[in-house]
Amino acid sequence: MPKRTDIHSILLIGSGPIVIGQASEFDYSGTQACKVLREEGYRVVLVNSNPATIMTDPEIADATYIEPITPESVESVIEREHPDALLPTMGGQTALNVAVALAEGGMLDRHGVQLIGANLGAIKRAEDRKLFQEALEGAGVKTPRGRFVRSVEEGVEAAEQIGFPAIIRPSFTLGGSGGGTAYNMEEFREAVRHGLDTSPVHMVLIEESLVGWKEFELEVMRDGKDNVVIVCSIENLDPMGIHTGDSITVAPAQTLTDREYQRMRDAAKRIIRAIGVETGGSNIQFAVHPSTGRMLAIEMNPRVSRSSALASKATGFPIAKIAAKLAVGYTLDEIPNDITKETPASFEPAIDYVVVKVPRWDFEKFKGVGDTLGVQMKSVGEAMAFGRTFKEALQKALRSLEIGRFGLGGDGKDLVDVASLSDEQKGEWRRKLRAQLHTARPDRIFALWSAIQLGVPTDDLCEITGIDPWFLFNLKEIVDFGGELQSGDAGRELRGVCAADASAGTVREESAAKTLARAKALGFSDRQMSHLLRLPERQIRSARRRLGIVPAFKTVDTCAAEFEAYTPYYYSSYDEEGESIPSTRKKVIILGGGPNRIGQGIEFDYCCVQGVFALRKLGYETIMINCNPETVSTDYDTTDKLYFEPLTLEDVLSICELERPDGLIVSFGGQTPLRIARALEDDGWPILGTSPEGIDLAEDRARFGELLDRLRITRPEYGTATSIDEAVAVAERIGYPVLVRPSYVLGGRAMEIVYQTDALRTYMQLAAGVSPDHPVLVDRFLEDAFEYDVDAVSDSHDVLIGGIMEHIEEAGIHSGDSAMVLPPYMVSNEHLEEMIDSTKRLALAIGVKGLLNIQFAMKDDVVYVLEVNPRASRTVPFVSKAAGIPLVSIATRVMTGHRLRDMGVLSFDFRKIPHVAVKESVFPFAKFPSVSMFLGPEMRSTGEVMGIDSEFGAAVAKAEMSAGTALPLGGTILVTVNDRDKNEKILEIIRGYVRLGFSVMATEGTSRFLCASDVENRRVMKVGEGRPNIADHVRSGAIQLVINTPLGEESRYDEFAIGHAAVEHNVPFITTLSAAATAVKAIERMKSGPLGVRSLQEYNRNGREER
C-alpha cells in the first residue's frame, strides 16, 4: 500500500518531562517520527512540554508547541493547526493517555482528527488489565491468574483465592508506579490501599506472583496488511518480580530453544492481533517457568517504548521510524532496510553479537528510599554495550555505568578483598552474601562476583537469586579468569611480560599475549587488569599495544553479515577482523554523556546532537561515542559514524587510535567526557574549545579564587577543612550559615546547608573519610539571596550572552531543581549589566572557547559569583529555545576556529525577547513517597518543562501544568511555615490568595501569626494534635494547595504526612515562599481566562522582528 494521501498534516505528542519510567527514549522515537513524516511530505505539528529535547528544536517539526500535554492545551493546538491525524504512539504513556482523553471527550471527532498508529480500542485493551486478559484469553494466550478489585475488602477476597506472594498492580499508572508484592495479609492490605490511591481509576489487579520465573520481551511490528515481524527478543537476567526497567537485560534471548522461542513468537502474533494494534510496534512481555516451561503473557505496550529504543539500537532496526511509516499506510515490504539498502524491512533482524543493558540508579540522591528492587521501576537511566559474547558485553556495560566500576569486579572496588580473608572470615562472608543476595539491589551483580569468588556454588546462587544458571555460569567464567590473572600461572607470566618495558619476542611473550587476548575477549578492562596484575594501567596498556592486542570494530548490520551494510554503526570486540575503515576527511569525535542520571540527562544529549548538526554543516565528518541506548545521539542516523562504546579512557583511546580525529569535543556531554579530557589531551589528542587547563582553572578553588581577586569579582567567603575542628574554625571565620560539601562525592553524603556548630560537627562526623586528600569545602551561604544562571559563548575575543535566568526559588536550592525565568523580571538593569560584565571578563580571562555557564547570587545589592563552568550546562537547551538562539551551534563554530563577530550574533540581547519563558523541574516524589519533598542543595529532579507565554503569570501557569501540578482556581490553602518565614512577605502572599477568593487554613503558630496581622484563617491540628489533622484534610479533599516551608527536625513527621498525602492526592505542595508568590500570579492569570497556545516558530519569528 502506498502512503496515505488523504491526510496532510499530523499531530505528534511527546512524552513531556523526563521522569522515572519515561526518559530520552521518547525523544529518540519522536525525533525519528518527525523526520520520517516530514520526509514523506506531511506537515508535522508537535506538542511537547520538554525543552531539553531534540524533537522540540524548531527545525525538527513544522510547528512546535512547547505547551502542557493536557487535553485542553492539545485541543487548543488542534484548533489552531487543524491536523488531519494524531499519532499518539511516540510519546509514551503520557501521549497515549492524552490521546484517550481527547478521543473519549469527543474532541478528536469534533475537529475531524483521526488516530493513526493505534486506535482507541487497542490502547484500552493493552492498558486496561481486565480487557487485556479477556482479549488474550480469546486469542488462546495464557495470562497469570488474577482479579480486579476496587476496594481493600474485595482485594482480601482475591488474595484468599490467589495466595501469597501476590502482586498488586494499579491500573493506568506510569512505570508500574504504586505497585508492589505482598507476602502476608498485613502488607497486602497496605499495598492495595496504596495501589487504589495511585490508580486514576481507583482499581488494582491482584495477580499470582511469578517471582523467580524467567522474563522475556519481544518487540513486535505489524503493518496494515497484517504482516507481523519480531524485531528482537530480550531476556531479563533478573527474574520476574523485578521491573524490566530495573533488570539487567540481554538481547537476543539466550536460554530458549527455537521451539520455545517460536511458541512465544506465535503468541506475540496472536496478541498484537487480539489487542488490535493495526500498525506499528508493540512490546510484549512473557514469563516462563524455569523448570516446566509454562509460558504466560504479562504485559503489552501498544507503542514505542524504552524496550523498543533498546531493541532498535541493539539490532539496527529503527522501530520508531518504521512505525511512523506504517502509520501513514506503508507496509513492511515497501520500506527499505536503511542498513542493507537492498533488502526490505519485512524481515527479522539476525544479530551476531550479544547486547547487555544495565540500569543506572541514583538512590544516594534520595535519602530514605530503600534501594531494594521490585515491580516498581526506580532506575533513572541505563547503559548498553555490545560484545561477541555475553561476558564481554556485560563487562563493557558495567564499565559504561559511570559509577566508578570498570567491570564485574577485580577493579579495586570489590565488596570484599577475598584474598586477604581467613577461612573463618570467608565463611562469614559467604553467610552474609547468601542472605544479602536474596534481595535484588543495584549492587547485586557486583556482589555475585564476590560470592562466586568465595566459592558459593552457582546452583545455590540460582536458587537464592532466581537468575538462570546459564548467566551465573558465564559470571563464573569471568570470575575464574579473574582469579587466574590475580594468582594463577598465566597471570604471573602475563604480569612479567607487562612489567618488562620492551619486547623480548620470546615464547613466553606469545603465551602471555594469548592470556591477554583471552582476558580482553572476556571483557576485562585495562583497569581491571591493572588491579588484578598489580601494575599501573598505563603499563597494561602499553604492553597490550606492543603485543598487538587491540579491539576490532565490528558492524551492527541487522543481518549477521549476510548482506553488505552501508550504515557505519560499530562496536568493539576483541575478535579478529575490524570493519571500520577510517576516512581521510577532516573529522571530529563528540563524546556523549553516558547513562542518564540525576543531574546529567537529556540536556547534554541535546548539546551533543546539536554539536553534530553544526559540525556536519561545517563539512566535518562526525563521530559519536556513547553508550546510552535511549538517546538521539546513539541513532546511527545522527552522525557519520557511531561507536556504541563505553566512555572510559581506554575505550575512547582505542577509537582515537583507529580514527585519528582532528579534534574531540568533550564539553557537550556533561561530566562524563570531562573526566577523561585531560588524559586524552596528555595522550596527544586535540581537545576542541576551552582547554582542559581552562576547565581545571575554573574548578580549582584556590586558583579560581586568585583569578577572581585579580578581576575584582566577588565570591562568597570560603575555606577548606580536613578535620572537624578545622571546619568549625572556617565556619566561624566566614560566618554561618555555611554550605558544606565533600571535595569529592562518595555515595551519599553530599551538600548541606548548616546553620550552627552542632549541625556542622554532625555533618563532619557523617562525612566519613575526610582527610587531607579528601577535604570538605565550606562556603558562606548567602541566605535569601537571589540566584542567576548565565549561559554564554566566548571565542576568547568576544562574548555572546545567550541569556540570564533568574531563579524563582531563593539561594540554597540546587540550580537543577530551581524554577527559572527568562528574561529575569525582578532585577535591575544595573545588576544585569554587572553580571554581563563579569561573565565577559571571566570568559576572556579563563580563555573560554565555546560554552560557558556562570551562577551568580545577589544579596543586599552585591553580586557574587558562585560557580563558573566552561562547558555545556543543563540550561543550554532551555535558553536556546526560550531566546531563539542556537547556542550549541554557535559554540561549535567557535570551537572549530570561527569568530563570533563574523557570525553576526553579537548584537543579540536576551533582554529584548518579547515573551517570557519559565523552566520548572519535575521530581520523583510520587515514586519515592518516603523522601523529603523539601528542596535543597542536592539535586533530585529528573526532568524539566518549559512554560512560554507573553507574560509571567501565564508562563508560570503553563510550566506548573506541564510539571503535573494542577494549580487550583479556588478553594482552601493550607499554610504552615517556619519562624523565619513568618514575615511581611508571607502576609503579602497569603493576602494575594485571599484576594483571589481562597480561604486559609493554618497550623497553630502560623495561624496566630496570620491572625495578628488580620489575615482571616482557620486553625487546624497538626498530625500529633488529634483528628482530623492536616493530613486528613488533604486526604478528604478539603485542601487544594499546601504552602509548607521546612520546619526542622521536630516537625519532620508532620511534613512527611502532609507531603505524602499531597502527592497521593495530587494537591500542589509548595515549599518556598517565592514559589508560593509565583503561584499566586499564575492562578490570577488562569482565573482571567483560558491560556492560549503558540508555536515556538511564531515566538522566534516575533523575537527576530522585535530585535
Task: Report the alpha-carbon angle 381-382-388, nearest 5.
Answer: 175
As a whole number of angstroms, the distance between CA 484 and CA 493 comes to 11
Q: Which of 1034, 1027, 992, 990 minimizes the C-alpha distance to 1012? A: 990
Of the listed pieces 44-52, 249-257, 873-881, 928-936, which binds another protein according to CB under 8 A? 249-257
Candidates 255, 436, 743, 978; binder of another protein (CB under 8 A) is: 255
Residue 862's beta-bridge partner residues? 859
- 3-state DSSP call for residue 502? coil
Is residue 791 a contact residue for another protein (CB under 8 A)? no
Within positions 44 to 83, which residues make up the interface with another protein, using CB under 8 A? Answer: none
469 binds another protein (CB under 8 A): yes
Range 530-559, binding another protein (CB under 8 A): 552, 554, 559
Distances (CA, A) of 154 to 158, 160, 212: 6, 10, 27
Please tell me whether residue 258 binds another protein under the rule CB under 8 A: yes
Contact between 623 and 588 (Cβ < 8 Å): yes
Told to check if 257 binds another protein by CB under 8 A, we report yes
Residue span binding another protein (CB under 8 A) among the ranges 38-46, 160-168, 385-393, 888-896 = 385-393
Judged by CB under 8 A, the residue of 109, 266, 693, 951 near another protein is 266
Decide: 53 and 20 in contact? Cβ < 8 Å: no
- Asked if 635 is part of the footprint of another protein (rule: CB under 8 A), the reply reads no
Question: How many other β-carbons are positioned within 10 Å of the β-carbon of residue 744?
Answer: 9
- Identify the residue among 39, 137, 160, 262 touching another protein (CB under 8 A): 262
Instruction: Identify which range of 75-83, 574-582, 606-614, 1067-1075 contacts another protein by CB under 8 A.
Output: 574-582
What SS3 state is found at 357?
Answer: strand
CB of 472 to another protein, least distance (A): 9
Say if CB 829 and CB 881 are below 8 A apart: no
Residue 321 or 915 having the CB closest to another protein: 321
Q: Is 576 in the site for another protein (CB under 8 A)?
A: yes
Shortest separation between residue 1068's beta carbon and another protein, angstroms: 51
Give 6 or 258: the residue with its C-beta nearer to another protein.
258
Q: Is the peptide bond before 1028 cis (omega within 30 degrees of 0)?
A: yes
CA distance 599 to 943: 9
Separation in Å, CA 330 to CA 28, 223, 301, 1068: 21, 8, 22, 45
* Residue 314 C-beta: closest distance to another protein, Å: 12
Nearest approach, Cβ of residue 261 and another protein (Å): 5
Q: Which of residues 270-309 bind another protein (CB under 8 A)?
A: 290-293
Q: Which uninterrupted H or E stretch holds 442?
A: none
Q: Note whether 720 and 770 are within 8 A (CB).
A: no
Which strands sit side by side in the sheet containing 146-149, from one edge to the other? 146-149, 204-208, 166-170, 180-182
Shortest distance, position 646 Cβ to another protein, whole Å: 20
The CA distance from 716 to 731, in Å, is 12
681-to-451, 671, 795 alpha-carbon distances in Å: 39, 16, 20
Interface with another protein includes 265 (CB under 8 A)? yes
Closest CB 365 distance from another protein, rounded Å: 37
Question: Which of residues 313, 357, 388, 874 is near another protein by CB under 8 A?
Answer: 388
Tell me phi and psi for residue 613, to 5 degrees. Answer: -55, -45
- The residue count for binding another protein (CB under 8 A) is 58
The pair phi, psi for residue 730, each rounded to 5°, is: -60, -45
Kindly provide the b/e burial profile for residues 523-552, where b requires at least 16 CB atoms within 10 angstroms of the residue's own CB: bbbbbbbbbbbebebebbbebbebbebebb
What x/- string results for residues 334 through 363 when contact with another protein is judged by CB under 8 A? --------xxx-xxxxxxxxx---------
Piece in contact with another protein (CB under 8 A), picked from 194-202, 253-261, 655-663, 800-808: 253-261
For the bound state, the minimum distance from the C-beta of residue 456 to another protein, rounded and expressed in Å, comes to 16
Q: In the bound complex, what is the minimum distance in angstroms from residue 232's beta carbon to another protein?
A: 10
Q: Which residues contact 177 (CB under 8 A, 6 or more apart)?
A: 20, 21, 170, 198, 376, 377, 926, 927
Nearest one of 1057, 981, 1059, 972 to 1017, comparing CA atoms? 972
With respect to another protein, which residue has the nearer C-beta, 386 or 908?
A: 386
Tell me the closest approach of the beta carbon of residue 259 to another protein, in angstroms.
5
List beta partners, residue 1044. Answer: 976
Min. distance of Cβ 239 from another protein in angstroms? 13
Site string for another protein, 748-777 (x = CB under 8 A): ------------------------------
Tell me how far apart the alpha carbons of residues 192 and 303 are, in angstroms, rounded to a whole number.
28
Whether 410 contacts 484, CB under 8 Å: no
Stretch that binds another protein, among 263-271, 446-454, 791-799, 988-996 (CB under 8 A): 263-271
Smallest distance, Å, CB 389 to another protein? 5
| Contact track, another protein, 187-226, x by CB under 8 A | --------------------------------------xx
Q: Which of 47, 168, 271, 332 binds another protein (CB under 8 A)?
A: 332
Q: Which of residues 228-247 bind another protein (CB under 8 A)?
A: 229, 233
- Closer residue to another protein, CB minimum distance, 347 or 736: 347
Binding of another protein at residue 256 (CB under 8 A)?
yes
The CA–CA distances, whole Å, from 213 to 168, 267, 287, 290, 481 equal: 17, 18, 6, 6, 30
Which of 114, 227, 714, 720 is the binder for another protein (CB under 8 A)?
A: 227
Q: Which residue of 2, 5, 259, 619 would you call a contact of another protein, by CB under 8 A? A: 259
Of residues 57, 217, 468, 920, which one binds another protein by CB under 8 A?
Answer: 468
Closer to another protein at the Cβ: 348 or 683?
A: 348
| Least distance between another protein and beta carbon 470 (Å) | 4
Phi, psi dihedral angles at 756 (to 5 degrees): -150, 175
Which residues 831-860 are close enough to bind another protein by CB under 8 A? Answer: none
Read off φ and ψ for residue 863, nearest 5 degrees: -100, 125
Question: Which of these segments, 534-542, 573-581, 811-819, 1026-1034, binds another protein (CB under 8 A)?
Answer: 573-581
Among the residue ranges 570-578, 689-697, 772-780, 998-1006, the one whose residues contact another protein (CB under 8 A): 570-578
Residue number, 261 or 736, with CB nearest to another protein: 261
Q: How many residues can be counted in the chain?
A: 1107
Nearer to another protein, 221 or 888 (CB): 221
Q: Does 331 bind another protein (CB under 8 A)?
A: yes
**CB-count exposure of residue 157 (10 Å: 0-12, 13-18, 19+):** middle
CA-to-CA distance for 628 and 400, rounded, in angstroms? 9
* Beta strands 862-869; 849-859: pairing state: antiparallel
Shortest distance, position 958 Cβ to another protein, whole Å: 46
254 binding another protein? (CB under 8 A): yes
Residues 577-606 close enough to bind another protein by CB under 8 A = 577, 579
Segment 677 to 736, residues that bind another protein, using CB under 8 A: none
Q: CA 131 to CA 126: how far, in whole Å? A: 7
- Give min distance, CB of 737 to another protein, in A: 58
Contacting residues toward another protein, per CB under 8 A: 225-227, 229, 233, 252-263, 265-266, 290-293, 331-333, 342-344, 346-354, 388-390, 468-470, 473-474, 552, 554, 559-564, 575-577, 579
